[in-house]
Amino acid sequence: MKPRLIRALVVVAVVVTGALLLFFTVAYLLVPLFAWLSPTLNPTLYDLGLYGACPLQTYVSSNVTGLRTTTIQWDESCDNGYVFLTPTGDSAGAPGPTILDSQGEVVWKAEGYQITTNLKVQRYKGQDYLTFWSGRKWGSLGAGSYYMLDSSYRVAYQVKAVGENMFGDLHEFKITNDDTALLTVYHTVDADLSSLGKASSGWLTENTFQEIDISTGELLFEWRASEHVDLTEGYMWNPFGGYLRSMPFDYYHLNSVDKDSHGNYLISARHTHTISCVSPTGEILWVLGGKHNQFTDLSGGAALDFSWQHDARWWSEKEGILTLFDNQEGGVLNREGPYSKGMMLKLDFDNCTVELLHSYVSLQETRAPSQGSVQFLSETNHMFVGWGHSPAYSEYSVNGTLLCEQHFAATWLHVWNRAVSYRAFKSATWVGHPKEPPAVKIDDQTLYVSWNGATEVVAWELQGAMTEADDYEFSELDVIDKEGFEESFELTDLWEYSRFRVVALDRTGQILGQSEVVSYHYESGWWRFIFAVLAWGLVFTICWHGYKRLWRWKHTGAGGIKWKSYELQTRRIPK
């Protein structure tokens, strides 16, 4: 073998060894430290996407993939209740309804559904249910059904739209005080679009909402926008829509429905920039905003300065106060204002006036081109805003003072649709009692435990059974507080125990659930240390001997090999 080849091999070995040392140093020391600091101390780097468009975290004891949030602003008054999201997007991991605690830690996630939207807590016949839409989604529309889960996360009801080729849309599922369900339906119909400068024989997206009896599935009421609203009232500009059945024109885009005590329906239409009130007979009683607005703005134009809005709700029907999410944008071709905001408006029906009471703006003054929600939290008298297409949610005092804001993905990358949640809600009333037991798994002398969906657990108790015991009588070994989705116990010093289980405890110390028993056989870690020392010693020895021989190598004329010092070779001392 030629000296140059040997020299090259040694250099490669040294470089590879150094690279491996550097890699393991970074992997085992710097990366975990960097990741640990990211959600708490570097929100700016988080929002820029340095930790990924949507940082996720995995667990040992569960197959759930959770969001890793960051807190931008915090106030202790926000430290209550749970946040309800439906994350979707190319970087958001497996889609599924998700519950976070007030600190942004995962509490529950279900990954057995299709695309989901609109996760929230609603009451039906005096009982709380988790409700959401799930189905197929294309563009801003969807076709699916609505699910109502009980406290054990089992499907108690599944509600569907009524009619041939009618499928529940992703925008709305509201349970009324009459224990009925309001839902939106989109379907394609042929229509004369000549008034829009399009074909006289074209295709239209019909916007419909239905009221359904949940227990029987009976259709109680149905309203179709094309029968009451002229096509020319829309602001949406789409030069290609309406010519093909596969690309119908959506001039109205109904995205929320609410019902008052008189049986009237409050509806929001994104593409006409209107909030309207529909009577039980289908008649439009009044219109706020849009081309045929009926109210005088007492706030110098600020009250009617909403466009492409979402989620209109009564805050106080008696006082005529409602809330909505003002997007100010309907896509790149339909931009209006500088940023999105939540709004609280007061309507005076006697004088036909409207006044802006409060507005709610994000810390970064984000502009969400779609989606979004505004919710009043009666438990704290706060306002909660989900920023839709921008992966953030914020909490305010009623007068508009920002208290808390958290992000669940890089907000500066939201235009690329990496992670979004159609709406965001918060509730302090939800109590989850999963039927499945807590999940445990032992990995590398550490026992991990989690319980997907359990909301009442405050501590975990580790119990173990002695190896020699015939009846495997369990005794208490350790107790730790539950702070995140998954906690862990070290088993290194528990070599005399061969079986373990974990018990979930509530605030009073009562047992909520118990994991299955897992077996464990103690293995000393000395052999790993010895193996590592021997391995690195071998690598070092090979590199050292190669280095010494490299500089002492010399060929003889007969093809044999002689060894002489480097000093003799360089001085060319004669034999």
> Taken in order 164, 170, 171, 177, is the CA torsion positive or negative?
positive
Across 162-230, the runs of DSSP E, i.e. the strands, are: 168-175, 180-191, 202-213, 219-224
Confidence (pLDDT) at 561: 43
Instruction: Indicate whether 453 pLDDT > 60.
Output: yes
Q: Residue 545's pLDDT band (boundaries 50, 70, 90)? A: low
Instruction: Indicate whether 538 pLDDT > 90.
Output: no
Query: Do 173 and 142 meet the contact criterion of CB atoms below 8 Å apart?
Result: no
Structure tokens at 234: 């829309």
Q: State the average pLDDT over residues 265-277.
A: 98
Confidence (pLDDT) at 139: 85
Confidence (pLDDT) at 151: 98
Confidence (pLDDT) at 568: 43
Amino acid at 18: G
Residues 6 or more apart from 388 whose CB is under 8 A from it?
Answer: 310, 325, 327, 340, 368, 370, 371, 372, 373, 420, 421, 422, 423
The percentage of residues in the chain with a pLDDT greater than 70, rounded to a whole number, is 82
Dump pLDDT digits (tens) for 487-513. Answer: 999 999 998 899 999 999 999 999 999
pTM: 0.85
Q: Residue 560's pLDDT band (boundaries 50, 70, 90)? A: very low
Instruction: Indicate whether 556 pLDDT > 70.
Output: no
Residues 6 or more apart from 471 whose CB is under 8 A from it?
Answer: none
Q: Looking at 37-51, 95-109, 398-412, 449-463, which range is the least confident one?
A: 37-51
Confidence (pLDDT) at 564: 45
- Residue carrying structure tokens 């021989």: 549
> Taken in order 241, 246, 250, 256, is the CA torsion positive or negative?
negative
Q: Which residue has the higher pLDDT, 454 or 165?
A: 454
Q: Residue 546's pLDDT band (boundaries 50, 70, 90)? A: low
Task: Supply φ then ψ for residue 388, to 5 degrees.
Answer: 60, -115
Confidence (pLDDT) at 536: 65
Instruction: Indicate whether 234 pLDDT > 80.
Output: yes
Instruction: Indicate whether 376 pLDDT > 80.
Output: yes
Q: Looking at 172-176, 327-331, 409-413, which range is the least confident one?
A: 327-331
What residue segments make up the domains of the chain, in order of their start?
3-27+525-571, 439-519
CA-to-CA separations, 525 to 60, 382, 442, 496, in angstroms, rounded: 21, 53, 15, 16
Confidence (pLDDT) at 441: 97
Q: Residue 547's pLDDT band (boundaries 50, 70, 90)? A: low
Confidence (pLDDT) at 335: 74
Q: How far apart are CA 49 and CA 71, in angstroms?
A: 15
Closest by CA to 359, choosing from 401, 317, 328, is 401
CA-to-CA separations, 241 to 250, 328, 407, in angstroms, rounded: 8, 22, 35
Confidence (pLDDT) at 337: 80
Task: Supply φ then ψ for residue 426, to 5 degrees.
Answer: -140, 145
Residues 6 or more apart from 411 whose CB is under 8 A from it?
Answer: 47, 364, 366, 390, 391, 392
The matching CATH number, chosen from 2.60.40.10, 2.40.30.60, 2.102.10.10, 1.10.599.10, for 439-519 is 2.60.40.10
Q: Looking at 147-151, 383-387, 521-525, which range is the least confident one?
A: 521-525
Q: Residue 569's pLDDT band (boundaries 50, 70, 90)? A: very low
Confidence (pLDDT) at 468: 60
Q: State the average pLDDT over residues 459-477.
A: 85
CA-to-CA separations, 93 to 54, 58, 85, 88, 96, in angstroms, rounded: 8, 11, 14, 8, 9
Confidence (pLDDT) at 521: 79
Q: Could you write out the three-class secondary structure of 47-59?
A: HCCCCCCCCEECC
Q: Residue 159's pLDDT band (boundaries 50, 70, 90)? A: very high
Instruction: Indicate whether 264 pLDDT > 50.
Output: yes
Dump pLDDT digits (tens) for 73-117. Answer: 999 999 999 999 999 999 999 999 999 999 999 999 998 899 999
Dump pLDDT digits (tens) for 123-137. Answer: 999 999 999 999 999
Confidence (pLDDT) at 40: 54
Instruction: Indicate whether 325 pLDDT > 90.
Output: yes
Strand 353-360 and strand 296-297: the pairing is: parallel
The DSSP annotation for 106-158 comes to: EEEE--SSSEEEEEEEEEETTEEEEEEEEEEEETTEEEEEEEEE-TTS-EEEE
Segment (H or E) for 531: helix 526-550
Instruction: Indicate whether 519 pLDDT > 80.
Output: yes
Segment (H or E) for 286: strand 284-288
Q: Looking at 31-35, 144-148, 233-237, 350-354, which range is the least confident one?
A: 31-35
Dump pLDDT digits (tens) for 277-286. Answer: 999 999 999 9
Q: Which residue has the higher pLDDT, 535 or 82?
A: 82
Report the side by side order of strands in the sheet with 486-490: 439-443, 446-450, 486-490
Q: Could you write out the three-class secondary structure of 241-277?
A: CCCECCECECCCCEEEEEECCCCCEEEEEHHHCEEEE
Q: How far apart are CA 35 and CA 33, in angstroms?
A: 5
Instruction: Indicate whether 563 pLDDT > 60.
Output: no
Amino acid at 361: V
Residue 568's SS3 state is: helix
Segment (H or E) for 418: none
Confidence (pLDDT) at 332: 66
User: What angle do helix axes 3-25 and 526-550 make, rounded to 10 degrees?
Assistant: 150
Query: Do 436 and 423 meet the contact criterion of CB atoms below 8 Å apart?
Result: no
DSSP class of residue 4 equals H
Average pLDDT, the chain: 89
